[in-house]
Structures are given as C-alpha cells and as structure tokens.
Amino acid sequence: MDLNGNAAIRVRNLHKAYGGHDAVHGVSFDVAPGEVFGFLGPNGAGKTTTIEILEGYRARTAGDVRVLGVDPGKPTRRWRERIGLVLQECELDPNLTIRETVGLFASFYPSPLRVDETIELSGLGDQADTRVGALSGGQKRRVDVALGIVGDPDLIFLDEPTTGFDPSARRGAWAMIDGLRRLGKTIFLTTHYMDEAQHLADRIAILRAGELVAVGSVDEIGAGLQADAVVRFRLPGGVTADDVGAVVARPVDLADDIVTIRCPDPQPVLYRLTTWAEQGAHRLDGLEVLRPTLEDMFLALTTARAEHG
C-alpha cells in the first residue's frame, strides 16, 4: 500500500460517536487511485456515516481521514471540483428538466463533461427535456448519477447507485461504471447488491456494527474465510455416497440423490471424480462447481457473528 500519502482515500482509526454510541469504531483502510472500492455492510453498520464523513458532509469524532490528500473536514473548492457524489437520497428540483438540472451542476465545474453526453451515458438520452418531477424513482437515480459525473471528477462516491433499477438499467449502470474505471477514475461504491460489488469492485471492505470485518479482493476475503467451493452432481446408479467419498477422499453429503462435496480446492477432487467416472462408465449428471459467492461471504461475516454477538 502506498505510504507516501498518494492513496485516493486514506482512513486511519476513524471514530464517529452519536451521543454515547459509537456508530463507527476504529475503521482504517486505503483506496488506491483508479480503484473501484466496494464498501458493504448491513443496514445500520455505519456505511452511510462513513461515506458522509469522506464526502465532507459529516464531522468525525476522532481519527485521520485524507481524501485526495485533503481533510474532508476542511474542504477546499479545488477539492470539491475533483469529487463527484451520487447521494443515497437526493430530491432534485421537480420543476427543472433533466437537461436544465445537469446543465446547472455542470456550470459550476471548470471542465465539465458535455451535458448531452452525460445524460446519454446515464441512459436518459430520450428524456433530456422531461421535468425531473415526472420521472420514476429509477430514472431520478440516473439523474443523480449524471450529476455525480458531470464535473469530470477524479474520485466518485456512488452511494447505492442502482437501487430501484430494473435489471437492464443495472447492466447499463455497470457498463458506465466500467467506463469510468477505464478512464482511471477512483470509485467508492456502496451497494446492497452483492453481485454488483462482485462484478464491479477491485477490492471490498465489509463493515459490521461500526467495525471492518474484512478488506481485500473477493478472492482474498474468500481465502481468509476458508470458504469452500462446492462440487455437486446426481449420484450415478449403482454406486453409494460412500463409494464417492472413497474416490475423492473427502466427506460427502447426499440429499435427494444429489451429492455435495465441500472442498477448499476443487481441482484434485474433480480430477479423481471424473477419472473414476470415465473408467467406470458412470454418468455425473448435472455436474457443477460452485465458487463461494460474495453473498455467502457477506452473510458469513455479518449474520453469523451478529448471532453470536
């Protein structure tokens, strides 16, 4: 990690107390320039508090925070010019059209993107002259996204950018975020959709009850959790689950004729399994290998511990 202060975001031992209660308790992480950083956590974990501190909307209780090298508690104009926000809840002026709204925001930045192009990118090209008040929730969200990027910022905060999108609009938003990544923008993303984080984020931080429980790439987090891959297939006729267990030398579960084998590394298991099946002319119907998903990891890290705690 960059120790020279060149990280796009650098957070050290961040605390935020409301009354006597610590909403954020000793959080530290770095976001590298050009990285898409997914910031996840269940509701009430302190995600919004943290992002609002980084955006300069909220004062922190303790800790050191640098965003593009600047303390967001003492924002400068130049700093604001380099940062784009997509807020979680933002009502826009319902009486302005999309073009007027995006144009208004563009006019405050020294070198904004083209207004029409930004609207097009946000998937609202057909509705540029529609008043914001007449848009659906998902469409308003896309206007928010347009407002976040129109200033051509270096760092973009996307706070649940695709909430309320239909699946095709979500894919459109992902393509746009990929485009922003290719341009070298740093993106700080919060989302409730694990597939979105897995698809978009280079690295992920998972927050639970104000503390980070994991930081790293999806693979790194999976390795840290020792989450197993799962090999599954229908039990071939004429063999038992114990026969299969002897072949792969691992415990085997059987339910409704479906064999389930949990293993940290599926490759040797598959090798033994398929060799055995070919030699013995067994059919492994419905054979599949399931990698642990981010959602599995997220639930393991947040739900399980919450139950014990």
Partner 1 sequence: MTSPTAPTATTTAPVRFATNPATGPAPGPGGGLARLGRETWILTRRSLTRIRNEPETLSDVTIQPVMFTLLFAYVFGSAINLGGPFGGTAAYHEYLIAGLFGLTVIGTLAGTAVGMTADMETGLIDRFRSLPISRSAVLAGRTVSDLVTNVLGLAVTAATGLAIGWRIHTGPVDALAALGLVLLLSYAVSWAGVCMGMVFRSAEAAQQAAFIIFLPLGFVSNAFVPTSGMPGWLQAFANWNPVSAAAASCRNLFGNPNPASSIDAWPMQHPEAYTVLWAIGVVAVFAPVAVYLYRRRARS
In the complex, the residues that contact partner 1 under the rule CB under 8 A are 55-59, 77-78, 80-81, 83, 85, 87, 89-97, 100, 104-115, 117, 120-127, 131, 136, 138-139, 147, 151-152, 165-166, 168-169, 171-173, 175-176, 178-180, 182-183
Kindly tell me which of 99 and 272 has the beta carbon lying closer to partner 1.
99
* SS3 at position 232: strand
Kindly tell me which of 90 and 289 has the beta carbon lying closer to partner 1.
90
Cβ at position 99, least distance to partner 1 in Å: 11
Cβ at position 233, least distance to partner 1 in Å: 35
Asked if residue 165 lies in contact with residue 122, where contact means CB atoms within 8 angstroms, the answer is no
Cβ at position 101, least distance to partner 1 in Å: 9
Kindly tell me which of 115 and 270 has the beta carbon lying closer to partner 1.
115
| CA 287 to each of CA 143, 255, 258, 270: distance values in angstroms, whole numbers, following the listed order | 44, 15, 10, 10
Count the helix, strand and coil residues of the chain and give each as a percent rounded to the nearest 5. Answer: 40, 25, 35
Contacts with 87 (C-beta within 8 Å, 6 or more apart), sequence order: 144, 159
Cβ at position 176, least distance to partner 1 in Å: 6
Kindly tell me which of 5 and 110 has the beta carbon lying closer to partner 1.
110
Query: Rounded to the nearest 10 degrees, how much is the dihedral formed by the CA atoms of 62, 64, 67, 73?
Result: 40
Asked if residue 41 lies in contact with residue 70, where contact means CB atoms within 8 angstroms, the answer is no
Cβ at position 18, least distance to partner 1 in Å: 10
Kindly tell me which of 3 and 183 has the beta carbon lying closer to partner 1.
183
Q: What residue type is assigned to position 228 of the chain?
A: D
Task: Give the whole-angstrom CA distance, residue 103 versus residue 99.
Answer: 6
How many whole angstroms from its chain centre is CA 158?
10
Kindly tell me which of 65 and 269 has the beta carbon lying closer to partner 1.
65
Cβ at position 118, least distance to partner 1 in Å: 9
Spell 183-205 as b/e; 16+ CB within 10 A means b: eebbbbbbbebbebbbbbbebbb
